[in-house]
């Protein structure tokens, strides 16, 4: 990777990463590919919101790839700069470019509304998981990444304002990120030492007998243990009395699993109009006309 993630420029008076700014512009181009107006089409508001979701999800996939690379034992310390730069790009796209129409519970489809909420949580989990790792390495600072302060302040403002659009609080990630940045403990959160102690005390003892076939849905016929589904296993933990309510909010990989929710992967090109065949464009245009006709007349 020959990218200079330390190179910066000014944007509205703030220091930003040059790579992040260019990546934000690339994301905007991707959104243009999904803009009905650019292609002479009409589309529903829901289509436009989900087009933004798709672009952001694609960027989250890139962030996760960089996150996994940086987490490898032999990865250079500087690999975390790539993670931060891609996070900053995503934040610039949502906050500075104003691509935030998606952040609302107002969807016709319950599935789309769930996806928007899960995306909000996943964006925060990406930031919190990365910041937590950098705190452990004493590197959550501008010395490590010159645009760090700008990026985190922007992420905090974005997280707070978007979170207020939902009728109920779905994540405390802005408060957690601020806690990591300032070093002030998050009120109501169990410390890592206390959590480890609680986990050790509540950890079930090993069974003396082998389970019979069918006793556990994670067992297979030949007696070998297959890998449990991470979301299902996580929900089992949360269902236990006294389980910390915040544990599902800070895990980046878990948040992406929740966002995926049965799909092969997040993101994709389903809303990329440029690659659609003519009949698909006609279908979307007809749906938009029908939706407009069904809408109540404005007095």
pLDDT tens digit sequence for 210-241: 544 444 433 333 444 444 444 444 444 333 43
* Rounded distance between C-alpha atoms, residue 154 and residue 134, angstroms: 18
Q: Are the beta carbons of 163 and 211 closer than 8 angstroms?
A: no
pLDDT of residue 27 exceeding 90: yes
Tokens 């909000």 belong to which residue?
Answer: 120
Q: pLDDT value at position 44?
A: 84
Q: pLDDT value at position 196?
A: 55
**55 vs 205, more confident:** 55
Distances (CA, A) of 283 to 33, 91, 252, 272, 289: 17, 33, 36, 14, 10
Q: Are the beta carbons of 6 and 81 closer than 8 angstroms?
A: yes
What counts of helices (H) and strands (E) characterise the chain? Answer: 10, 2
Of 47, 86, 170, give the one whose Cα is nearest residue 120.
170
Helix (H) or strand (E) holding 14: strand 14-17
pLDDT of residue 243 exceeding 60: no
Of 101, 14, 120, 20, give the one whose Cα is nearest residue 66.
20
| Residue 96 DSSP class | I
- Written as one string, the DSSP assignment of 147-163 is THHHHHHHHHHHHHHHH
Q: Residue 215 is encoded by which pair of tokens? A: 């006793």
The predicted-structure confidence for 79-118, as pLDDT tens digits, reads as follows 999 999 999 999 999 999 899 999 999 999 999 999 999 9
Q: What is the pLDDT of the chain when averaged over all its residues? A: 84
Q: pLDDT value at position 206?
A: 55
């Amino acid at each position: 990777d020959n990218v200079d993630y330390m190179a910066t420029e000014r944007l509205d008076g703030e220091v930003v990463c040059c790579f992040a700014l260019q990546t934000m512009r690339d994301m905007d181009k991707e959104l243009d590919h999904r803009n009905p107006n650019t292609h002479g089409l009409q589309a529903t508001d829901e289509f436009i919101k989900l087009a933004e979701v798709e672009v952001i999800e694609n960027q989250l996939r890139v962030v996760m790839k960089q996150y996994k690379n940086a987490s490898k034992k032999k990865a250079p310390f500087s690999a975390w700069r790539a993670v931060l730069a891609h996070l900053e790009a995503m934040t610039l796209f949502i906050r500075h470019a104003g691509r935030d129409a998606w952040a609302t519970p107002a969807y016709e489809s319950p599935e789309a509304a769930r996806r928007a909420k899960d995306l909000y949580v996943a964006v925060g989990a990406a930031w919190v998981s990365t910041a937590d790792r950098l705190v452990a390495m004493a590197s959550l600072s501008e010395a490590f990444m010159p645009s760090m302060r700008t990026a985190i302040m922007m992420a905090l403002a974005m997280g707070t304002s978007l979170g207020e659009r939902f009728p109920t609080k779905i994540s405390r990630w802005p408060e957690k990120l601020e806690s990591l940045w300032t070093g002030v403990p998050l009120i109501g959160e169990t410390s890592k030492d206390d959590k480890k102690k609680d986990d050790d005390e509540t950890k079930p003892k090993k069974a003396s007998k082998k389970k019979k076939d069918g006793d556990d849905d994670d067992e297979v016929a030949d007696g070998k243990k297959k890998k449990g589904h991470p979301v299902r296993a996580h929900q089992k933990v949360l269902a236990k009395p006294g389980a910390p309510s915040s544990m599902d909010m800070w895990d980046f990989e878990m948040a992406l699993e929740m966002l995926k929710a049965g799909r092969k992967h997040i993101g994709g090109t389903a809303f990329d109009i440029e690659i659609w065949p003519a009949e698909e464009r006609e279908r979307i245009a007809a749906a938009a006309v029908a939706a407009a006709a069904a809408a109540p007349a404005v007095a």
